[in-house]
Structure 1
Amino acid sequence: MSDEFREEWRSFEKERPDLSAWINSAKLTEHEAEAIKNSIIRNDIGYGARWLEVISTRIDRAVLRSQRRIEQTASFRLQEQNDRIRVIQNRNQ
């Protein structure tokens, strides 16, 4: 990440703490987070609506990936719990 980008991002974090906090908490890969931040900064300094479209698409994809991870984790935990219940039931029979 360039020094110029870091400086612009620090300024962005101060101006939009809610959005920057969401980006930092969205469990994006480093590349995705940097691309989104870069898109926001470029849009803010006049690169146009295309960047807004790009960021929206990237955020949507990141949210879908996060949802899939959450669903997979929940499914795994449910399966573990069912397996434990089965083991206990088998012991009691």
Structure 2
Amino acid sequence: MKLDDDIHNYYEHLVLEQIERLELNKTKNEDYLADLCCLALNQLPTRYIRYEVDMAFYLPQSERQQMSMNAINAVKHGMTFLDNKEQSKTE
């Protein structure tokens, strides 16, 4: 078993989904996106899974929606931090 391939934090999927939804992968560079992922994931609890299907079958819809909102808010806060940091560099 390779731990890094078999087990992952479900919030990683939700954060990346939000980044794609906002199309940040088209407008921001890789460093910004990596920093954003770290900032967002550090605000969220861990929820380790082996298979995505586990979340579909065993997680109540209300909890899944809450996790999605948590990821959306974490990305928003991370973007605010990074954008303010970048703005202060240019001033």
TM-score of the superposition, structure 1-length normalised?
0.47
Larger radius of gyration: 1
Higher relative contact order (CA 8 A, sep 6+): 2
TM-score of the superposition, structure 2-length normalised?
0.48
Higher share in strand? 2
